[in-house]
Amino acid sequence: MTFTKSWLQKQITDLEATRDEIPFGLDEDGNNTLAVLKLALAGMEAEPVAYMHRSGQVVTREECCDDKTFAICCKVETPLYAAPQPLATSERAELENYRSAQQVVRSITQHFDDIALETAREIMCDVNRRHEFLGGEVQLLSRIQCRVDDACRAAMLQGGK
């Protein structure tokens, strides 16, 4: 659903009218809803207070030559607001995609951590049993290399699951 200024204004007006008709006013949910609607409207009506030039320099409205130049600069450069602007629908979707990707990365990272931990345990067991190997240190190193190779192979094969 897309929220427009006119829709928010109508909702605020309707809710305020309802509030005024009720002897004891709105309940807590109604008051919270009204506050959120007003906050959303204020965010939509917010004017930039400065802009950030590509060089990183911040220029305020007062520092700019005039309002017309400031308005043009805010369209070309990055406008800065005193209050955060509400997210557009596309930005909200992008944020959700980013959060979903973060969760996938966390689960994959956890999976790789589990493989690495198990491999480290196996290697430590091999190191502790090195006296049992007929080839001594060479066989131990070979066995460690095999375990590392197996872990890498497992990570590659199971990484997408």
pTM: 0.37
Dump pLDDT digits (tens) for 2-22: 678 888 899 999 999 988 888
Q: What Rg do the C-alpha atoms of the chain give, in angstroms?
A: 30
Question: Which of 74, 78, 75, 72 is CA-nearest to residue 55?
Answer: 78
Instruction: Count other C-beta atoms under 10 Å from residue 48's C-beta.
Output: 19
What sections of 66-136 are H helices per DSSP?
67-76, 89-128
Give the C-alpha separation, 129 to 123, whole Å: 10
Least confident of 61-70, 80-89, 91-100: 80-89
What would the two tokens of residue 68 be? 């017309």
